[in-house]
Structure 1
Amino acid sequence: MFENLSDRLERSFKILKGEGKITEINVAETLKDVRRALLDADVNYKVAKQFTDTVKAKALGMDVLTSVKPGQLMVKIVHDELATLMGGEAVDVQISGNPAIILMSGLQGSGKTTFSGKLANLMKNKRSKKPLLVAGDVYRPAAIEQLKVLGEQIQVPVYTEEGNKNPVQIAQNAIKQARQDGNDLVIIDTAGRLAIDEQMMQEIKAIKDAVNPQEILFVVDSMTGQDAVNTAKEFNDRLDFTGVVLTKLDGDTRGGAALSIRTVVNKPIKFVGTGEKMEALDVFHPARMADRILGMGDIVSLVERAQEQYDEEEAKRLQKKIAKNQFDFNDFISQIQQIKKMGNLKELASMIPGVGKAIKDMDIDDNAFKSIEAIIYSMTPKERTNPEILNGSRRQRIATGSGTSIQEVNRLIKQFDETRKMMRMVTQAKNPARMMRGIKRR
């Protein structure tokens, strides 16, 4: 995500490296390179020019503190302006009303149906809502079936009407059903087209007028770049939508849509899709995204994702086991499952400051734990609970059963032993008396 833009901006800032002070000449040279980087990332030309003009005015208007180098000051100004360009502050969805109604809009292939499922999942698990998904795409049977599959996966009901080709009527009937069943949130998926056409616009406008939604979200594939911005303008002129959703931001996107769309349509980006899993949906935070574009990581989002998977009772239970040196392979596999739930591994690693650049050419996918899981699941329940009984013959059987080598099994067990020792040392360090008793025993 934004890797090419990040690299280009970093090279631009090097122009100021070693300079004693900011001057009109070196600022102009730097910002010429910055503007070129933005245009290459498919940022709207007017947006890129206005951005660099603002940065230039701020840079030349500042007295550089003696403790701040010109390059560092320029990074700070660019960071703040990037955050402002993308909206400044995160904007939440409005889910008041009984039921609250959210209407989806966008072109075919933008990811509306998948996003509808992700949003229902987020609202159910994090906002304690009782959502109802509505299959309003009456032209594409696969879209109705897809929504049914997603609804079953996240355990959210899906309203459909077989044979009814009137999406306005379907939406109205779905809202009546929601009130009857106690659903306090209705998410309406609508039909898309391969290109903007009058029939599609009239149809979705009719749905809007009939149900009066609290939110109209424009869903756009961020990989379409500048075309996404032009499409957003067309939709906004007709629908006056309330927010933007950028999907597929985990792909090889140049980032132009994220950086241009807020300025062009003057509507906030509310969510970003960052993967295929139902949990791969984030509230859009402009300042955090600016951090990531400039290679500063996003440690706040990483901590938030970790906290979502944090179970206080489970943590207490685990701490007691570690203190007694009883941490076993069942606990180990449980921790792996929690990490996997947090999202794509490469994306998680890139949130750590300085790591994103180091791993940008590495292929890290969700199969990274596959061999580890295979080895652990090839152990008997007794072996997982008592790792110390894993002798040579048991290890050979585990290697054969997991389709791995004896070397891989030995390596995992060694890493597990080292992890267990380290975790116990950390636990003892919090209790000096216990640590001293451990030293005396040795």
Structure 2
Amino acid sequence: MQAIKELDAQLTVFEEMESAVRSYIRSFPTTFSKAKGSTMWDTNGKAYIDFFAGAGALNYGHNHPKMKEALLSYIAEDGITHSLDMGTKAKANFLTNFNEIILKPRNLEYKVMFPGPTGTNTVESALKLARKVTGRELVISFTNAFHGMTIGALSITGNSFKRHGAGVSLNNSVAMPFDQYLGDEVDTVDYLEKFLEDSGSGVALPAAIILETVQGEGGLNVANPEWLKRVEELCRRWDILLIIDDVQAGCGRTGTFFSFESADINPDIVCLSKSISGYGTPMALTLIKPEYDIWGPGEHNGTFRGHNLAFITATEALNFWKDDEFSKDIIEKGLLVDEFLKRIVSQYPELEGEVRGKGLFRGIACGVEGLADKICAQAFEKGLIMETSGPSSEVFKIMPPLNIDREALNKGFAIVEASIKACLK
């Protein structure tokens, strides 16, 4: 009883002091105090399996021991914490390792820009640069896209609720139908191409096309490799920059480090954030083909673009990618999730479910209004953290740390199934 009173008092603090804009605490109404690997604990000691991974910011789990050791050692030695874009040993080490471990083996050549430390910061810098390079204003995005919550990023985001929050007109963008948005029989690149070719379409030649290969917040919509390849070819033909937003789908979430690797495309600009730091410490990168790196010094900046604590953990995280074993493990566990979800859809037709996703980035779209939210709420009560996505929150999403062990994965499956049963009674 005392523990419940203490928890109620803690939640009252958030209710009384924190803005009404808070959201995740409404889905997960407790006060967390500890986390390790794929488990979180609240102040009452209740354990929760994490199928959320910080909305994709914790791909390597909570408090990874090697990253924690490197971080604590760096702090103990009075290493530089804040440096703007000055040179530091921590940044030099990260850049060297990122090039050797990630870029070179994939035959990619990019200049690395450190914008502000969030996903929307890297998207804003990408949009600004594309317009600077081409001299054009328009950017084409896609239905159900999510690219961030600042004004430029909102202008290319599809969700009407989030767009409305801008409070001003969102301009210089056009949304085109994503892959399979118009059904399996329609190749939406044909639709996009027609708009570009037709001088009467009302769509000007854009500076860039920006897309997510897997639309996480948009409902786990996966673009086919062939579709992505056609978009790239269209960009090359029309001299349009191709921007891949890999903020959530990148850093291994789909099975490979970059989500676009299976499509064999070479984007002009790549946006990374969330799990690039490895530890949940804020960090973002904008990767730019060298010929497009035409910034003037200080033309785009940010006070916290030199967050050296993130460089330390990010460098340690790159060790996961020195060979292909980690990638193989993600793909194998992703197939386990896929197998589980397909069984659930088959066994519980009342869900009116559709399995979506790729890698460890999967879920079920429920045809029953409000059901996905109810399943997530039940899961929380039973000791599992899981969120919804999609324009109507119709998808419950399984997105655990990539290094989750199979035992925890199976325990999570059991809770998800029990939660579904409870909601379908």
Structure number with the bigger relative contact order (C-alpha 8 A, sep ≥ 6) is: 2
Tell me the TM-score normalised to structure 2 length: 0.32
Higher share in strand: 2
Tell me the TM-score normalised to structure 1 length: 0.31
